[in-house]
Amino acid sequence: MDWIAGVAFLFLVKKFFDFLRFGVNGDVNGLVSQLVVWAAGVGAVLIGAQTQWADHIQVGAVTLGSLNFWSQVFVGLTLASAASFAQDTLAAVDSSRTSAVPTLIKKP
C-alpha cells in the first residue's frame, strides 16, 4: 500500500473513532459537525470530478476524473477527515484560542 493511502486510512479511522465517541457521550454538536465535514468533503470531490480540471487532479497514480463513484467518496471522506484532524491539531496547540470556532449547534 502506498504510504499516502495508509495515512488517508489513518485519518478516516481516527475521525470515525472520534465520531463514535461523540455519539457515546451524547455530543450532538460533534456528531453533526463531523457529518457536515464529511458531506462537504464528499460533495466537493464529486463536484470536482465533474469539472474540466478533473483529468488534471492526481489522486495517487490516477486522475480524479477516472475514479469510480466509490473511490471518489473515499477520497472525499479521507480529505475531510484530514482537514478535521488538522483543525483538531490547531485547536490543541493553540493556547490563546485564536483558532477557536463557534459550535455548529448551540446548546439550549
* Global confidence as pTM: 0.85
Residue with cell 472520534: 18
Give me 107's grid cell.
446548546
Report the distance separating Cα 58 and Cα 64, nearest Å: 6
* pLDDT, one tens digit for every residue, the chain (108 residues): 578 788 889 999 999 999 999 999 999 999 999 999 999 999 999 999 999 999 999 988 899 999 999 999 999 999 999 999 998 888 888 777 666 667 777 776
Helices (H), 1-108: 3-24, 28-48, 69-93
Sorted by where each begins, the domain ranges of the chain are 3-93
